[in-house]
Amino acid sequence: MTQSAFLPLKNCLATLTDTRAEDWFLFMRARHGMATVYQTLHQCFGQGTVTTQAYTCVTAINPILVAGLKPEYGDIDPDSIALVPDFAPLHEQTRAVVWQNTFGILADSKAALLRSRVQSTPAIFLEDSAHCVGSMLRDNQGEPLADISVHSFGVEKLLPTKFGGAIWINPRLKERSPQHQRFVEELKTACAGVRAPQGREEKAMRRYFNQVRVLNHLPQMLSAPLRKTLIKTDRFLAPIIPLEQQGKLDRAPALPSKWVADQALSQLNKIEATRRRRQQVQHVYQEKLRRRLQIPADISDSQALVRFPIFVEGATSANGAESLFSFLHARGYYPGRWYRPALFPGVKDYELYNLDPELSDLPNTERLIESAINLPTQESVPRAQEIVSLVNQWVGDNS
């Protein structure tokens, strides 16, 4: 199996984004694509840093570490939940700058400011579009801003698929310099050489949904050791494994199986309906939630969010966020804690990740992490209205 086996899926991604199919490359998971990008960066440009944010998942940082590069964190803008363009670290050792479309928020004009800073350096501008597959940051002329754009079909993303990821390589990147041309050529070669999934991995991907259903219905004293055994024997491909909280990749980068690609293609063909349903739900949240809860200003009706972020304000925001989480969960609704703590779901060795656990130089990041809670957008509109009613009740009772 090679990249050429996924031409229908590549054609679909190209149509959605007004790009070329030949510039898309598929992986078992988006993190595998990121690891391939960073490893090639290291080979072509040498050791250095990658500017990113701490308000993210640990699986977005591990590919930097396994490539031999060093993460460097910038503070985030509360309205975009992405890097503050003017203050993101950028220097001669910067190899890449990551703009994360957190939850699916696309703050094009702010991203363009940071892109303009990156353009005058050898660093690449990488767009993490894992939360909004098929969407890209654009400039005023409608052209993609990113040098590399990363997309995901994985668990807890926009589509109901569980595996698969893709990267897009901007064909204009090779025009920046001979070194960038070499990078593009070597990256395409690396993508073309990614291994096929093993038989056990293919079976595990197919069985994932049923495995989760069984594990969730077993008592904790049975499900925990069974889950651990299945992960250890590579028969359950969990979204995040313990090894990934220690700076490692879950496995060597691999291609998706044909079954995974077919699932992704089927869902991408229905993506507009999926986006509309999520937009209807997020509209309910945006219009009806009490304003004591902070809502990022860069959320717009044209976006389709994978989760709707809200932040509990006040001096006891950390306790408030967990209190609201528990209040909703006890009533049969399932909010999320993304990304509380930093590098979600957390790490033991902050030094390994080059992160100050106190987030002393990242005040916005610290505040948002303390107060974060996010609401599901895959719910029906009536369920969303019930969630809003409960959230507003909690706000009223805790004012």
* pLDDT at res. 112: 98
Q: Is residue 322 scored above 80 in pLDDT?
A: yes
Residue 129 pLDDT exceeds 90: yes
Residue 291's pLDDT is 73
CA 285/CA 391 separation, integer angstroms: 10
φ/ψ (deg, to 5) at 97? -120, 130
Letter for the amino acid at 74? G
Can you name the residues that pair with 168 across neighbouring β-strands? 24, 149
Range of lowest pLDDT (2-6, 93-97, 151-155): 2-6
Q: Of 32, 288, 29, 301, whose CA–CA distance to 162 is shortest?
A: 29
Taking the C-alpha atoms of residue 283 and residue 5, their distance in angstroms, rounded to an integer, is: 39
Distance CA 16, CA 14 (A): 5
pLDDT of the residue at 318: 66
Preceding amide of 71 cis, omega within 30? no
Mean per-residue pLDDT over the chain, rounded: 95
Domain range annotation of the chain: 3-192, 199-247, 268-397
How many angstroms separate the CA atoms of 98 and 82, rounded? 9
Least confident of 87-91, 218-222, 262-266, 307-311: 218-222
The fold for domain 268-397 equals Aspartate Aminotransferase, domain 1 (3.90.1150)
pLDDT at 179: 97
Position 314 scores a pLDDT of 66
Give how far the C-alpha of residue 47 lies from the chain's centroid of Cα atoms, to the nearest Å. Answer: 24
Cα–Cα nearest to 103, from 147, 56, 54: 56
Over range 338-352, report the average pLDDT: 96
239: left (phi over 0), alpha (psi -120 to 50) or beta: alpha
**pLDDT value at position 313?**
78
- 232 vs 145, which has greater pLDDT? 145
pLDDT per residue as tens digits for the range 155-186: 999 999 999 999 999 999 999 999 999 999 99
Spell out the residues 6+ positions from residue 229 whose beta carbon is closer than 8 angstroms to its own: none
CA distances from 245 to 38, 229, 231, 242 (A): 19, 18, 14, 5
Flag whether pLDDT at 315 surpasses 60: no
Least Cα distance to 36 among 251, 286, 211, 352 occurs for: 251
Check residue 316 and give its pLDDT: 60
Residue 186 CA to residue 150 CA, distance in Å, equals: 18
Does domain 3-192 fall under CATH 3.10.20.30? My reply is no
Give the sign of the dihedral formed by CA 91, CA 96, CA 100, CA 101: positive
Residue 380: per-residue pLDDT: 96
3-class SS string, 161-178: CCCCEEEEECHHHHHCCH
Q: For 10-51, write each residue's pLDDT tens digit.
A: 999 999 999 999 999 999 999 999 999 999 999 999 999 999
